[in-house]
């Protein structure tokens, strides 16, 4: 008999999902407005993309704190703070008179998303019966994957009909509904911890992520061997080493990194990273490619992602149900195979690409993404002790945002590097940048598929 889930838990999940949805929706809703914003604020494409990259970077850093926060504070208090932060940041974006002000508003919004998404998974892992976790994380994955793919469609329609500022005004009612539900129904006591917060580890982690993302962004306009690229990479590695040392050997830890002593957790993390890298990265490339190479309008460029978004929305709950019934290996392997196939379609058929063919290729890719994405974090959480589920939750959610941030950065850098150099028209140079982007995601998807196959072989051998 299927175990029941209380109405209070479902409404609490809805509250967290609404805030996560609005936060993630804005990650990519601005992508189709980048050409317009670039002209409006007189900045280059590789600068304007920090509206997405900086947002994702801030989300990543905030998510790193949630393993501690969920042990220390009531879930309701965390949610209320997040909703209020998002509301304030959204208002600032809506009235922003300049690029720096718009960026500050986006970073404030990012704080909210960095708290709300791990909170959504925290509700699932603490309140949902074990036999239903796959299905519920499938629904959560639907929110996480549907929102960034709907973003370009939403942003494209709004910016084509009226001002891009309405992108921010229209989501305010959703935030208020979420705030009402969260205040009333989220009620999870903290696990409890006597440790103080490890600010030093967080500082080094933030330095690591920022340095790597900055290096990627500079690669668009400078040589890979230039000081402006190599120096931040060096700083990033130094900060990473210092983070591991302080986090592992300090009096307290930002998160328990011992979970990665298990190869299955590390392989699941790589798969999870690759899936989100490709998802967010390709969602950035397609609208830009459609406008610069296929010469479509911003609205059509955004609409090319809509059918795939719908397919993804329908796939996530199905993928979770398959995992509950037949194990995680089946949906994840199928998903990564389809992800690879979708990437190959973009790469092989590029010279014949039309808006319709882009739609079809993206549908295949998004079906694969949604089959594997949520199941990857669920599979990882099942292979660690229950006391470490908060660490898996925090790290994997942090990882998916960093993957999106670095994904947009690398894809934008490749595109911008091709646009800023080489022969031919601007459209031809954009075509070349798109080719390198499609090649990159194809190779990454193949690596992720290989990692997943090895992962489940290890898991099967342990079960025997």
Assess contact for 286 and 401: CB atoms under 8 A.
no
Do 106 and 235 lie in one domain? The reply is: no
Residue 24's pLDDT is 83
**Contact (CB, 8 A) for 411 and 285:** yes
Q: Is 192 helix (H, G, I), strand (E, B) or coil?
A: coil
Total residue length of the chain: 464
Let me know whether 124 and 57 are in one domain: yes
> Can you tell me whether residue 168 is helix, strand or coil?
helix
> Is the domain of 290 the same as that of 323?
yes
Q: Which of 253, 274, 296 marks a domain boundary?
A: 253
CB 198 within 8 A of CB 246: yes
Instruction: Give, to the nearest 10 degrees, the angle between helix 99-127 and helix 7-29.
Output: 150
Question: What is the count of structural domains for the chain?
Answer: 3
From first CA to last CA, the distance across the chain in angstroms is 28
Inside any domain, residue 464: no
Please, are residues 46 and 416 in contact by the beta-carbon 8 Å criterion? yes
Q: Quick check: 449 and 340 in contact, CB under 8 A?
A: yes
Domain boundary among 179, 194, 209: 194
Q: Tally Cβ neighbours within 10 Å of residue 65.
A: 22
Q: Which of 141, 167, 168 is nearest to 154 (CA)?
A: 167
CATH number of the CATH domain containing 388: 1.20.1250.20
Residue at which a domain ends, from 168, 194, 220: 194
pLDDT of amino acid 1: 46
State whether 431 and 320 are in the same domain: yes
Please, are residues 112 and 19 in contact by the beta-carbon 8 Å criterion?
Answer: yes
- pLDDT beneath 70: ranges in the chain: 1-3, 46, 145, 148-149, 191-195, 220-224, 250-253, 386-387, 464
Domain of residue 350 covers 255-459
| Secondary structure (DSSP) of 374-428 | HHHHHHHHHTS-GGGHHHHHHHHHHHHHHHHHHHHHHHHHHHHHHHTSSSS-HHH
pTM of the model: 0.77
Closest CA to 34 of 20, 24, 47: 47
């Amino acid at each position: 008999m299927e175990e029941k889930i209380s109405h209070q838990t479902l409404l609490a999940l809805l509250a967290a999902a609404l805030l996560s949805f609005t936060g993630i929706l804005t990650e990519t809703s601005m992508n189709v407005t980048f050409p317009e914003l670039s002209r409006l604020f007189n900045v280059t494409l590789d600068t304007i993309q920090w509206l997405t990259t900086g947002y994702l970077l801030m989300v990543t850093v905030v998510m790193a704190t949630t393993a501690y926060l969920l042990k220390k504070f009531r879930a309701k208090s965390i949610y209320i703070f997040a909703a209020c932060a998002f509301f304030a940041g959204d208002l600032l974006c809506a009235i922003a008179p300049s690029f720096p002000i718009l960026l500050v508003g986006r970073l404030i919004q990012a704080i909210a998303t960095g708290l709300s998404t791990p909170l959504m998974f925290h509700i699932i892992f603490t309140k949902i019966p074990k036999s239903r976790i796959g299905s519920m994380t499938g629904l959560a994955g639907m929110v996480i994957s549907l929102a960034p793919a709907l973003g370009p469609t939403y942003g494209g329609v709004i910016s084509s009909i009226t001002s891009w500022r309405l992108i921010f005004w229209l989501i305010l009612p959703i935030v208020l509904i979420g705030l009402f539900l969260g205040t009333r129904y989220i009620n999870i006591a903290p696990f409890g911890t006597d440790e103080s917060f490890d600010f030093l580890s967080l500082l080094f982690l933030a330095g690591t992520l920022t340095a790597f993302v900055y290096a990627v962004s500079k690669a668009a306009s400078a040589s890979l061997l230039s000081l402006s690229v190599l120096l931040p990479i060096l700083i990033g590695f130094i900060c990473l080493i210092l983070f591991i040392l302080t986090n592992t050997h300090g009096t307290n830890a930002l998160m328990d990194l011992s979970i990665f002593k298990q190869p299955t957790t590390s392989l699941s993390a790589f798969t999870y990273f690759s899936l989100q890298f490709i998802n967010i990265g390709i969602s950035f490339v397609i609208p830009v490619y459609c406008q610069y190479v296929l010469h479509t309008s911003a609205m059509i460029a955004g609409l090319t992602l809509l059918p795939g978004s719908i397919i993804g929305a329908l796939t996530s709950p199905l993928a979770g149900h398959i995992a509950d019934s037949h194990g995680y290996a089946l949906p994840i392997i199928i998903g990564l195979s389809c992800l690879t196939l979708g990437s190959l379609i973009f790469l092989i058929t590029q010279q014949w690409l039309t808006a319709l063919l882009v739609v079809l290729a993206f549908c295949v890719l998004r079906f694969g993404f949604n089959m594997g994405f949520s199941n990857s974090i669920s599979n990882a959480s099942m292979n660690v002790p229950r006391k470490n589920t908060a660490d898996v939750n925090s790290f994997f959610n942090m990882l998916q945002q960093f993957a999106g941030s670095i994904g947009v950065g690398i894809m934008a850098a490749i595109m911008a590097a091709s646009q800023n150099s080489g022969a031919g028209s601007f459209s031809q140079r954009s075509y070349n940048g798109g080719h390198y982007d499609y090649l990159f995601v194809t190779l990454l998807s193949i690596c992720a598929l290989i990692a997943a196959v090895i992962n489940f072989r290890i898991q099967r051998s342990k079960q025997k």
